[in-house]
């Protein structure tokens, strides 16, 4: 598929993936490239965006890229760190300042320009920087300021722009409009990024890569692996075998549901491996969340390898890795937030070539792909579920008793929210069984039970999230049912932390 493209140079911003997503929402293809790799400017590339990042441009170890790109006649937009790189290259001055800008800030537009076409003279934006531009070179105009701090610039002779604020985040009131102006009006890009086109292209790519070889897919039943399975099945048919490792860390009746959907409904080659005892044994005594993930990831690979060997000769291993998995697992420019068992953890001796048909998509785009594949809504729009399963929703050591508490509590929460008509309004909701125990009174007797934490968030892609404002009556019903129906739990709390600073999962 040949479509207009916006390249995004990644300098390690937590929002880099969000920039790509915003551009794709405009139906223009965007591609993220590392800062230290050469930029390939084809005829389809209509513009370049330089992302933010954690470094300072004046530091010795600052991230730099091939700045010969500035000599080419191609529109460019620098965001935060990206703007500071532009300023430094052209002879301006950037410095650290005692007063930092984090959060919402009012930006005054002081010079009309194409980037801010259709915006008001003052706009609410989102800032996240400790350095600031104190002076630009003579060949730049200042377009906007925030409390007398330079917030936007433009080269007088080239379509090179810089923004100190982040237009890609929802907190910038008209940020999408700014990006739209850049993509459509300045870059002259044409909308052509359609999910159905992506689906057809992916099917053809998979077929050309795989040929007549066989593919093994680790199917968890979550949205990502499910969409990957159906996409691969459409491309390869009988060449695909799905292995479902039942590690005993799934939700209420989930394992049976996964088998029913993919073995009976889709009639795929489906192999269910009962490994519950192996996983529980391996997790005995493990309390650190990162160690849980690594333990599960390693054992998952071992079980997978053993199963694959018993099934025959496979050349390819497929995974439902997403963009967000990659960025949270750490890149050259971003530190690890939490490891994902399907990212970067495959030993070379495993013997498979890897296929990741979703690794350029965000969660909401995966759902759109599922729609394009005509998948059942209950599969496409089911809630995200972590690869390590309930192991990271049960804090502390994993026991079968605590897992059963988690399943029952989670099932009750889902029942109540569905009954109250809220399931389509909340992006994700679940229960965390904490490692804390508290005193309670039930039936005139003292109890000493676990604290269960309710977690519910609204989000578009999982990169950022806000806690869901669930009605009090719904919360009261959930809490009442849990303490009355689930042995071992006697107190319920509600997590009202957004992401950032928290994460959606607790571990």
The structural domains of the chain, ordered by start, are 5-186 (3.40.50.880), 195-380 (3.40.50.620), 393-494 (3.30.300.10)
Query: What's the mean pLDDT in 171-190?
Result: 94
Contacts of 88 (CB under 8 A, 6+ apart): 57, 58, 94
pLDDT for 100 equals 63
Which residue blocks in 260-399 are alpha helix, DSSP H? 276-283, 289-311, 323-328, 363-372, 377-380
For residue 61, pLDDT over 90 is answered with: no
Dihedral sign (CA 468, 471, 476, 482):
negative
Residue matched to tokens 């493209």: 5
What local confidence, expressed as pLDDT, does residue 359 receive? 83
Residue 162 pLDDT = 95
pLDDT at 62: 84
Q: Is the pLDDT of residue 130 over 80?
A: no
User: What are the two backbone dihedrals, phi and then psi, of residue 225, each rounded to the nearest 5 degrees?
Assistant: -70, -30
Of 41, 68, 172, 70, the C-alpha closest to 116 is 172
Residues labelled catalytic = 80, 166, 168
* Alpha-carbon distances of 490 from 141, 446, 476, 484, rounded to whole Å: 63, 10, 14, 8
Nearest to 220 by CA among 259, 252, 268: 259
What is the mean predicted confidence (pLDDT) over 433-460?
Answer: 92
Asked if 298 contacts 339 with a C-beta cutoff of 8 angstroms, the reply is: no
pLDDT band at 183 (very low <50, low <70, confident <90, very high): very high
Average pLDDT over residues 287-292: 93
DSSP class of residue 499 equals: B
Instruction: List the beta bridge partners of residue 115.
Output: none
pLDDT tens-digit series, residues 106-124 = 899 999 999 999 999 999 9
Residue pointed to by tokens 């491309």: 235
What residues pair up with 81 in beta bridges, in sequence order?
A: none
Does residue 244 carry a pLDDT above 80? yes
Structure tokens at 417: 């929210």
Mean pLDDT, range 147-155, rounded to an integer: 91
pLDDT at position 209, please? 94
Residue 447, pLDDT above cutoff 80? yes
Entry field: residues in the chain: 507
Q: Say if CB 223 and CB 380 are below 8 A apart.
A: yes
- Stronger pLDDT, 65 or 135, i.e. the higher one: 135
Res 347: pLDDT: 53
- Tokens, residue 190: 């044409």
Local confidence band at 21 (pLDDT 50, 70, 90 cut-offs): confident
Residues of the chain above pLDDT 90, percent: 59
Structure tokens at 138: 């003579």
pLDDT, position 38:
80
Question: What number is the average pLDDT over the span 258-263?
Answer: 92
Which tokens hold the place of 208? Answer: 């050309």
Q: Which of 39-53, 59-73, 104-118, 441-455 has the lowest mean pLDDT?
A: 59-73
- Average pLDDT for residues 133-147, to the nearest whole number? 92
pLDDT, mean of residues 296-322: 88
Quickly state the pLDDT bin for 189 (edges 50, 70, 90): very high
Nearest CA among 204, 200, 263, 213 for reference residue 239:
213
* CA–centroid distance for 39 within its chain: 25
Whole-number Å distance between alpha carbons of 335 and 41: 29
Lowest mean pLDDT across 95-104, 142-151, 288-297, 439-448: 95-104
pTM, entire model: 0.71
How far apart are the C-alpha atoms of 69 and 12, rounded to whole Å? 19
> CA 328, 330, 335 angle in degrees (round to 5)?
100
Residue 210 has pLDDT above 60, yes or no: yes
Contact (Cβ atoms closer than 8 angstroms) between residue 456 and residue 435? no
Strand 428-442 versus strand 316-318 pairing type: unpaired
The pLDDT of residue 279 is above 70: yes
- Asked if pLDDT for residue 363 goes beyond 70, the answer is yes
Q: Which pLDDT belongs to residue 227?
A: 95
Per-chain mean pLDDT for the chain = 88
Q: Is the pLDDT of residue 101 over 90?
A: no
The secondary structure of 300-332 as a DSSP string is: HHHHHHHHHHHH----EEE----HHHHHHT--S
Confidence band of 467 (pLDDT split at 50, 70, 90): very high
Dist CA 34 CA 37 (whole Å): 6
Q: How confident is the model at residue 505 (pLDDT cuts 50, 70, 90)?
A: very high
């Amino acid at each position: 598929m040949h479509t207009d493209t916006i390249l995004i140079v990644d300098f390690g911003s937590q929002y880099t993936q969000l920039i790509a997503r915003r551009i794709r929402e405009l139906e223009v293809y965007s591609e993220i490239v590392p800062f230290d790799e050469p930029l390939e400017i084809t005829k389809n590339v209509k513009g370049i965006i330089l992302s933010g990042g954690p470094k300072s441009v004046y530091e010795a170890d600052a991230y730099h890229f091939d700045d010969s790109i500035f000599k080419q006649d191609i529109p460019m937009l620098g965001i935060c760190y990206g703007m500071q790189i532009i300023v430094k290259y052209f002879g301006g001055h950037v410095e650290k300042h005692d007063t930092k800008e984090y959060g919402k800030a009012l930006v005054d537009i002081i010079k009309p320009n194409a980037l801010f076409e259709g915006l008001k003279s003052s706009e609410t934006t989102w800032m996240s920087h400790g350095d600031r531009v104190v002076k630009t070179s003579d060949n730049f105009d200042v377009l906007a300021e925030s409390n007398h701090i330079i917030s936007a610039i433009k080269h007088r002779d080239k379509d090179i722009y810089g923004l100190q604020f982040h237009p890609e985040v929802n907190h910038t009131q008209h940020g999408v409009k700014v990006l739209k102006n850049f993509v459509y009006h300045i870059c002259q890009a044409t909308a052509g990024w359609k999910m159905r086109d992506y689906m057809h292209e992916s099917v053809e790519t998979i077929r050309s890569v795989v040929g007549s070889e066989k593919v093994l897919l680790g199917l968890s039943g979550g949205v990502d692996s499910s969409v990957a399975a159906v996409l691969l099945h459409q491309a390869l048919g009988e060449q695909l075998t799905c292995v479902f490792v039942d590690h005993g860390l799934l939700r209420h009746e989930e394992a049976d549901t996964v088998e029913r959907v993919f073995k009976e409904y889709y009639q795929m080659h489906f192999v269910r491996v009962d490994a519950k005892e192996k996983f529980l044994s391996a997790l005995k005594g493990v309390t650190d969340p990162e160690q849980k993930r690594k333990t599960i990831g390693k054992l998952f690979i071992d079980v997978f390898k053993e199963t694959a060997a018993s099934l025959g000769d496979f050349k390819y291993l497929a995974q439902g890795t997403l963009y967000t998995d990659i960025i949270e697992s750490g890149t050259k420019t971003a530190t690890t937030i939490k490891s994902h068992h399907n990212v970067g953890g495959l030993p070379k001796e495993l013997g498979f070539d890897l296929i990741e048909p979703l690794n350029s998509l965000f969660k909401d785009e995966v759902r759109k792909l599922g729609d394009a594949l005509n998948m059942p809504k209950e599969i496409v729009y089911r809630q995200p579920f972590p690869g390590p399963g309930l192991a990271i929703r049960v804090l502390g050591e994993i026991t079968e008793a605590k897992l059963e508490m988690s399943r029952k509590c989670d099932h009750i929460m889902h029942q109540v929210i569905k009954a109250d008509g809220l399931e389509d309004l909340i992006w994700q909701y679940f229960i965390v069984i904490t490692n804390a125990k508290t005193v309670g009174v039930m039936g005139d007797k003292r109890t000493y039970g676990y604290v269960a934490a309710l977690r519910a968030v609204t989000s578009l892609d999982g990169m950022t999230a806000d806690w869901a404002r669930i009605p009090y009556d719904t919360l009261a019903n959930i809490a009442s049912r849990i303490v009355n129906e689930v042995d071992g739990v006697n107190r319920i709390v509600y997590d009202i932390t957004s992401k950032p600073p928290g994460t959606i999962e607790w571990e």
